[in-house]
Amino acid sequence: MKERIKAICLEKPNNVVVKEVPYPEKSDNDVLIQVESMGICGSDIGAYRGTNPLVTYPRILGHENCRESN
């Protein structure tokens, strides 16, 4: 299993970097998928601009993802 993966990380408002982060832990109730594409949505834009008071930093962006399932 991989030990580290690349992630789009919002370090603080208006500061996005691509960096390696630890591979996420998987519990018995989780499913591991291979993401084929990822997008950002309005909540990510608010986090980027620093206008969402509920956002903490740093954070990994991109909870809108796509995977083909057979």
Angle at 27 between CA 23 and CA 31, to 5 degrees: 80
pTM tops 0.75: no
- The phi, psi pair for 45, rounded to 5°, reads -65, -45
Output the average pLDDT for the chain.
87
Tens of pLDDT, residue by residue over 17-54, are 999 999 888 889 988 777 888 888 888 899 999 999 99
Pseudo-torsion of CA 59, 60, 62, 65, nearest 10°? -140
Determine the structural domain holding residue 39 and report its residue range: 4-66
pLDDT score for 68: 72
Peptide bond before residue 13 is cis, with ω within 30 degrees of 0: no
Overall domain count for the chain: 1
| Among the listed residues 33, 29, 52, 69, the one whose alpha carbon sits nearest the alpha carbon of residue 61 | 52
